[in-house]
Amino acid sequence: MGQQRSPLGVVELQLLAARGWRGVEQERLGDWLLRTGHGVTRRANSALVVGDPALPLPEAVDAVARWYDDRGLSPRAMLPGVQARPADAAFAAAGWVRDEPVLVLTAPLPASGEPDVPVELLSAPDVGWLARYGLPGGPPPPGALGVLTSGTDVVFASVRPEPAPAPPVAIARGVLTDGWLGVAAVAVAEEHRRRGLATALMAALTRWAAGHGAHSVHLQVTAGNTAARALYRRAGFIEHHRYHYRRRA
Protein backbone atom coordinates (compact mmCIF):
# COMPACT_ATOMS: atom_id res chain seq x y z
CA MET A 1 0.00 0.00 0.00
CA GLY A 2 1.08 3.56 -0.63
CA GLN A 3 1.37 6.28 1.95
CA GLN A 4 -1.94 7.69 3.13
CA ARG A 5 -2.06 11.49 2.86
CA SER A 6 -3.59 14.22 4.96
CA PRO A 7 -5.33 12.31 7.74
CA LEU A 8 -8.82 13.65 8.27
CA GLY A 9 -10.65 14.02 11.56
CA VAL A 10 -14.05 12.47 12.22
CA VAL A 11 -16.03 15.52 11.15
CA GLU A 12 -13.96 16.10 8.01
CA LEU A 13 -14.21 12.47 6.89
CA GLN A 14 -17.95 12.35 7.54
CA LEU A 15 -18.54 15.52 5.54
CA LEU A 16 -16.41 14.15 2.71
CA ALA A 17 -18.34 10.87 2.73
CA ALA A 18 -21.65 12.78 2.76
CA ARG A 19 -20.68 14.47 -0.51
CA GLY A 20 -20.37 11.05 -2.15
CA TRP A 21 -23.65 9.66 -0.80
CA ARG A 22 -26.05 12.59 -0.85
CA GLY A 23 -29.70 12.86 -0.16
CA VAL A 24 -31.83 14.21 -2.98
CA GLU A 25 -32.93 16.97 -0.59
CA GLN A 26 -30.59 18.52 1.96
CA GLU A 27 -30.84 21.39 4.43
CA ARG A 28 -28.59 22.76 7.16
CA LEU A 29 -29.52 23.05 10.82
CA GLY A 30 -26.51 25.04 11.93
CA ASP A 31 -23.65 22.65 11.17
CA TRP A 32 -25.93 19.59 11.16
CA LEU A 33 -26.94 18.22 7.77
CA LEU A 34 -30.57 17.18 7.30
CA ARG A 35 -31.03 14.96 4.26
CA THR A 36 -33.55 12.69 2.62
CA GLY A 37 -33.42 10.20 -0.23
CA HIS A 38 -37.17 9.51 -0.05
CA GLY A 39 -36.52 6.58 2.30
CA VAL A 40 -33.73 4.91 0.29
CA THR A 41 -30.92 3.91 2.74
CA ARG A 42 -30.50 5.03 6.31
CA ARG A 43 -27.47 7.18 5.53
CA ALA A 44 -29.29 9.32 2.95
CA ASN A 45 -32.30 9.65 5.27
CA SER A 46 -30.69 10.77 8.51
CA ALA A 47 -29.45 13.96 10.08
CA LEU A 48 -25.65 14.00 10.10
CA VAL A 49 -24.88 15.32 13.58
CA VAL A 50 -21.52 17.09 13.36
CA GLY A 51 -20.68 20.47 14.87
CA ASP A 52 -23.08 23.00 16.35
CA PRO A 53 -26.80 23.01 15.41
CA ALA A 54 -27.07 26.69 16.48
CA LEU A 55 -29.85 25.71 18.87
CA PRO A 56 -29.96 24.25 22.38
CA LEU A 57 -29.69 20.49 21.90
CA PRO A 58 -33.24 19.60 23.04
CA GLU A 59 -34.61 22.13 20.54
CA ALA A 60 -32.33 20.77 17.82
CA VAL A 61 -33.67 17.26 18.44
CA ASP A 62 -37.23 18.58 18.06
CA ALA A 63 -36.26 20.41 14.86
CA VAL A 64 -34.83 17.21 13.36
CA ALA A 65 -38.02 15.33 14.21
CA ARG A 66 -40.22 18.02 12.63
CA TRP A 67 -38.13 18.11 9.44
CA TYR A 68 -38.59 14.39 8.81
CA ASP A 69 -42.21 14.40 9.98
CA ASP A 70 -42.95 17.10 7.41
CA ARG A 71 -41.66 14.74 4.70
CA GLY A 72 -43.48 11.67 5.92
CA LEU A 73 -40.26 9.91 6.98
CA SER A 74 -39.18 8.28 10.21
CA PRO A 75 -36.86 10.73 12.03
CA ARG A 76 -33.30 9.40 12.29
CA ALA A 77 -29.97 10.88 13.34
CA MET A 78 -26.44 9.69 12.55
CA LEU A 79 -24.00 10.34 15.40
CA PRO A 80 -20.29 9.86 14.63
CA GLY A 81 -17.39 9.72 17.06
CA VAL A 82 -16.77 11.27 20.45
CA GLN A 83 -17.80 14.73 19.23
CA ALA A 84 -21.45 13.59 19.03
CA ARG A 85 -21.75 12.43 22.65
CA PRO A 86 -23.60 15.51 23.98
CA ALA A 87 -26.07 15.36 21.10
CA ASP A 88 -26.42 11.59 21.55
CA ALA A 89 -27.42 12.18 25.16
CA ALA A 90 -30.06 14.68 24.02
CA PHE A 91 -31.54 12.23 21.52
CA ALA A 92 -31.50 9.49 24.18
CA ALA A 93 -33.27 11.78 26.66
CA ALA A 94 -35.99 12.32 24.02
CA GLY A 95 -36.50 8.55 23.82
CA TRP A 96 -34.76 7.91 20.49
CA VAL A 97 -33.60 4.29 20.11
CA ARG A 98 -29.96 3.48 19.39
CA ASP A 99 -29.03 1.10 16.54
CA GLU A 100 -26.00 -1.15 16.02
CA PRO A 101 -22.60 0.60 15.76
CA VAL A 102 -21.04 1.06 12.33
CA LEU A 103 -17.26 1.14 11.83
CA VAL A 104 -15.65 3.60 9.42
CA LEU A 105 -12.44 2.03 8.08
CA THR A 106 -9.65 3.72 6.13
CA ALA A 107 -6.47 2.69 4.33
CA PRO A 108 -3.96 4.12 1.90
CA LEU A 109 -5.02 3.22 -1.61
CA PRO A 110 -3.35 -0.12 -2.37
CA ALA A 111 -1.29 -0.73 -5.46
CA SER A 112 -3.56 -3.11 -7.34
CA GLY A 113 -3.09 -5.28 -10.40
CA GLU A 114 -5.79 -6.89 -12.47
CA PRO A 115 -8.60 -8.55 -10.48
CA ASP A 116 -8.53 -12.36 -10.40
CA VAL A 117 -11.93 -12.46 -12.13
CA PRO A 118 -13.37 -10.06 -14.75
CA VAL A 119 -15.08 -7.04 -13.19
CA GLU A 120 -17.35 -4.78 -15.24
CA LEU A 121 -17.33 -1.06 -14.42
CA LEU A 122 -20.27 1.11 -15.44
CA SER A 123 -21.03 4.80 -14.92
CA ALA A 124 -24.64 4.02 -13.92
CA PRO A 125 -26.28 0.96 -12.33
CA ASP A 126 -28.13 -1.33 -14.73
CA VAL A 127 -31.18 -3.43 -13.90
CA GLY A 128 -29.07 -6.40 -12.76
CA TRP A 129 -26.93 -4.25 -10.47
CA LEU A 130 -30.02 -2.70 -8.90
CA ALA A 131 -31.59 -6.13 -8.38
CA ARG A 132 -28.49 -7.44 -6.59
CA TYR A 133 -28.49 -4.27 -4.47
CA GLY A 134 -32.05 -5.05 -3.42
CA LEU A 135 -34.14 -3.03 -5.87
CA PRO A 136 -35.49 -5.81 -8.13
CA GLY A 137 -37.83 -5.41 -11.08
CA GLY A 138 -39.43 -2.33 -12.55
CA PRO A 139 -38.32 1.24 -11.96
CA PRO A 140 -36.45 1.85 -8.68
CA PRO A 141 -38.18 3.80 -5.90
CA PRO A 142 -38.17 7.59 -6.28
CA GLY A 143 -34.85 8.95 -5.09
CA ALA A 144 -32.93 5.66 -5.33
CA LEU A 145 -30.99 6.56 -8.46
CA GLY A 146 -30.46 10.07 -7.14
CA VAL A 147 -28.75 8.69 -4.04
CA LEU A 148 -26.76 5.97 -5.81
CA THR A 149 -25.45 8.24 -8.57
CA SER A 150 -24.71 11.22 -6.30
CA GLY A 151 -21.12 12.35 -6.28
CA THR A 152 -18.73 13.81 -8.83
CA ASP A 153 -17.04 10.58 -9.99
CA VAL A 154 -19.09 7.41 -9.45
CA VAL A 155 -18.62 3.88 -10.78
CA PHE A 156 -20.63 0.67 -10.39
CA ALA A 157 -18.73 -2.64 -10.35
CA SER A 158 -20.24 -6.02 -11.24
CA VAL A 159 -19.05 -9.62 -11.50
CA ARG A 160 -21.19 -11.69 -13.88
CA PRO A 161 -20.82 -15.43 -14.59
CA GLU A 162 -22.24 -14.76 -18.06
CA PRO A 163 -22.31 -11.61 -20.20
CA ALA A 164 -25.12 -9.09 -19.70
CA PRO A 165 -28.07 -9.27 -19.50
CA ALA A 166 -27.13 -12.11 -17.13
CA PRO A 167 -27.50 -10.76 -13.56
CA PRO A 168 -24.35 -10.03 -11.55
CA VAL A 169 -23.45 -12.26 -8.62
CA ALA A 170 -21.38 -9.55 -6.92
CA ILE A 171 -21.56 -5.75 -6.94
CA ALA A 172 -20.00 -2.67 -5.36
CA ARG A 173 -20.13 1.10 -5.75
CA GLY A 174 -17.16 3.44 -5.78
CA VAL A 175 -17.09 7.23 -5.59
CA LEU A 176 -14.11 9.57 -5.75
CA THR A 177 -14.09 12.71 -3.58
CA ASP A 178 -10.99 14.88 -3.06
CA GLY A 179 -8.61 11.97 -3.62
CA TRP A 180 -10.56 9.56 -1.43
CA LEU A 181 -12.25 6.46 -2.83
CA GLY A 182 -15.47 5.66 -1.00
CA VAL A 183 -16.61 2.05 -1.32
CA ALA A 184 -20.19 1.06 -0.55
CA ALA A 185 -22.99 -1.34 -1.54
CA VAL A 186 -20.71 -4.40 -1.58
CA ALA A 187 -22.98 -7.42 -2.05
CA VAL A 188 -22.15 -10.99 -3.06
CA ALA A 189 -24.77 -13.66 -3.71
CA GLU A 190 -24.70 -16.18 -0.87
CA GLU A 191 -23.92 -19.15 -3.12
CA HIS A 192 -20.89 -17.30 -4.55
CA ARG A 193 -19.28 -16.19 -1.29
CA ARG A 194 -15.78 -17.21 -0.18
CA ARG A 195 -14.60 -17.25 -3.79
CA GLY A 196 -12.65 -14.00 -3.72
CA LEU A 197 -15.30 -11.93 -5.50
CA ALA A 198 -15.35 -9.14 -2.90
CA THR A 199 -11.56 -8.97 -3.17
CA ALA A 200 -11.86 -8.75 -6.96
CA LEU A 201 -14.37 -5.91 -6.68
CA MET A 202 -12.06 -4.00 -4.33
CA ALA A 203 -9.12 -4.55 -6.69
CA ALA A 204 -11.09 -3.21 -9.65
CA LEU A 205 -12.30 -0.16 -7.74
CA THR A 206 -8.88 0.71 -6.33
CA ARG A 207 -7.33 0.29 -9.78
CA TRP A 208 -9.96 2.65 -11.21
CA ALA A 209 -9.45 5.15 -8.37
CA ALA A 210 -5.67 5.11 -8.76
CA GLY A 211 -6.13 6.03 -12.41
CA HIS A 212 -8.11 9.06 -11.23
CA GLY A 213 -5.47 10.23 -8.76
CA ALA A 214 -6.87 8.77 -5.51
CA HIS A 215 -4.59 8.27 -2.54
CA SER A 216 -6.85 6.80 0.18
CA VAL A 217 -9.98 4.72 0.60
CA HIS A 218 -12.78 4.70 3.16
CA LEU A 219 -15.70 2.35 3.71
CA GLN A 220 -18.24 1.40 6.35
CA VAL A 221 -19.15 -1.93 7.89
CA THR A 222 -21.54 -2.86 10.68
CA ALA A 223 -19.89 -4.02 13.89
CA GLY A 224 -21.63 -7.40 13.65
CA ASN A 225 -20.40 -8.21 10.14
CA THR A 226 -17.40 -10.24 11.27
CA ALA A 227 -16.69 -11.78 7.85
CA ALA A 228 -16.43 -8.39 6.14
CA ARG A 229 -14.37 -6.95 8.99
CA ALA A 230 -11.89 -9.82 8.66
CA LEU A 231 -11.66 -9.28 4.90
CA TYR A 232 -10.94 -5.57 5.29
CA ARG A 233 -8.46 -6.19 8.12
CA ARG A 234 -6.47 -8.50 5.84
CA ALA A 235 -6.55 -5.78 3.19
CA GLY A 236 -4.89 -3.32 5.59
CA PHE A 237 -7.86 -1.25 6.74
CA ILE A 238 -7.88 0.25 10.22
CA GLU A 239 -10.75 1.68 12.25
CA HIS A 240 -10.97 5.45 11.92
CA HIS A 241 -14.06 5.95 14.10
CA ARG A 242 -17.52 4.60 14.78
CA TYR A 243 -20.99 5.99 14.46
CA HIS A 244 -24.50 4.85 15.23
CA TYR A 245 -28.02 5.88 14.36
CA ARG A 246 -30.77 6.94 16.71
CA ARG A 247 -34.35 6.76 15.53
CA ARG A 248 -37.47 8.03 17.18
CA ALA A 249 -39.31 5.12 18.73
Domains in the chain: boundaries: 10-104, 105-241
User: pTM for the complete prediction?
Assistant: 0.91
Q: What percent of the chain has pLDDT over 70?
A: 95
pLDDT computed for residue 39 by the predictor:
81
Instruction: Assess whether pLDDT exceeds 90 at residue 245.
Output: yes
**pLDDT at 1 exceeding the cut of 50:** no
30 or 136, higher pLDDT: 30
Give me the pLDDT at residue 3, please.
Answer: 47
pLDDT at 5 over 70: no
Residue 110's pLDDT is: 82
pLDDT range class, residue 137, cuts 50, 70, 90: low
Percentage, residues of the chain above pLDDT 90: 77
Instruction: Give the mean pLDDT of 73-85.
Output: 97
Residue 4 has pLDDT above 50, yes or no: no
pLDDT, tens digit (0-9, with 9 covering 90-100), for 165-206: 788 999 999 999 999 999 999 999 989 888 889 999 999 999
Q: Residue 2 has what pLDDT?
A: 46
DSSP letters along the chain, please?
--PPPS---HHHHHHHHHHTS--SEEEEETTEEEEE-TTS-SGGGSEE--S--SS-HHHHHHHHHHHHHTTT---EEEEETGGGHHHHHHHHHTTEEE---EEEEEEEPPP----SS--EEESS--HHHHHHHT--SSSPPTTHHHHHT-SSEEEEEEE-SSSTTSPPSEEEEEEEETTEEEEEEEEE-GGGTTSSHHHHHHHHHHHHHHHTT--EEEEEEETT-HHHHHHHHHTT-EEEEEEEEEEE-
**CA separation for the pair 171, 165 (Å, rounded):** 15
Q: Indicate the average pLDDT of the chain.
A: 92
At the fourth CATH level, the homologous superfamily of domain 105-241 is Gcn5-related N-acetyltransferase (GNAT) (3.40.630.30)
CA dihedral 106, 110, 112, 116 (to 10 degrees): -40
Is the pLDDT confidence value at 108 over 60? yes
